[in-house]
Amino acid sequence: VFVDDDCEIDGDYLRDLERHYASGEQWLIRGGCVELGDPRDLPFTIKRSRVRERLTPDVHPGGFVLGCNMVMHRDVAARIGHFDERFGAGGPLRSAEDTDYLVRAMLLGIPVEYVPDMTVFHHHGRRDRKSIEKLHRDYSFGNGALCLKHVRHAPWLLRHFYWATRGALRELAGGPRFDRELQLSHWPIVVMNLTGAARFAVLLLARWPEEVQVPQDRQADAQAR
C-alpha cells in the first residue's frame, strides 16, 4: 500500500481494500479516491471520480491512479520492479514516478484500476496559485520525459501531447483552459513536455543510471510463490 506522508486514510480504507481483493484477482494495480484533507487547500492533486474504471491508452495515465493512494500485491511489485528514481520529487525529472510505474505495468499486461472508495485525504498544503502553477509545470516536465522514455513501446502516449498542443492552440482563439476552476493553461504542458523530453535525452547521453530492476531469478521466485 502506497500512501504519502501528507495523507491520512479513511476509517473504512482497510475494509474497502480487503473487499476489493476478496475476489482473488491479484494481478493488477488499484488506486482509490483522493480527497482534500483541508478545505483551505486548492483542489489539485486529488481525484474524486465516482466511476470505477480501468486504464486504457485512450486516457492519459497521469493522475488516473495517484501515487499517494496506490495498492498492489507484492508479486505485482516484484514483476514490475523498482521505481525509476530519475522521476519523482527530488529527481532530475521532478515528477511522474507513479505514472511511469503505471505505464510499465500496462506494458507487462497488468491492468490498472481506479475505484471510487478506498479513500485517502491529501493535506498537500498548497493555497496559492504560484505553488499550484509550479506543480503543474513539474508534472508536465516529468510527463514529457515519460513520453520519450516509452516512445518505442508505448507510442500512444504521444497522442496526449498532440491533444495538449491542440488545446493550447484553441486557447489562442478563446478556447477553454486545461483547468477552468484553477485557470491553468495548456501552454505550460506543451512547453514543459518538450523541456522534460530534452532533459531525459540529456540523461541518456550522460548515461544516468536507469531504474534498478528486480533480478529475473527473484521475479521467478515471487511468481512461484
Q: Give per-residue pLDDT as tens, 170-211.
A: 999 999 999 999 999 999 999 999 999 999 999 999 987 654
Q: Give per-residue pLDDT as tens, 19-41.
A: 999 989 999 999 999 999 999 99
C-alpha cell at 192: 514543459
- CA dihedral sign of residues 187, 193, 196, 202: negative
Share the mean pLDDT of the chain: 93
Q: Give per-residue pLDDT as tens, 117-171.
A: 999 999 999 999 999 999 999 999 999 999 999 999 999 999 999 999 999 999 9
Distance CA 103, CA 205 (A): 23
- One-letter amino acid at 198 equals A
Q: Give per-residue pLDDT as tens, 65-78.
A: 999 999 999 999 99
Distance CA 58, CA 183 (A): 24
Q: Domain limits of the chain?
A: 2-224
CA distances from 198 to 19, 95, 155, 210 (A): 44, 15, 17, 16
pLDDT of residue 54: 98
The share of the chain scoring above pLDDT 90, in percent, equals 90
Q: Give per-residue pLDDT as tens, 35-59.
A: 999 999 999 999 999 999 999 999 9
| pLDDT value at 215 more than 90 | no
CA distances from 125 to 9, 67, 115 (A): 17, 17, 25
| pLDDT value at 212 more than 90 | no
The share of the chain scoring above pLDDT 70, in percent, equals 92
In DSSP terms, 179 is beta-bridged to 184
Q: What does pTM read for this prediction? A: 0.90
| Length in residues, the chain | 225
CA distances from 72 to 8, 149, 179, 217 (A): 19, 24, 30, 20
Distance CA 11, CA 197 (A): 41
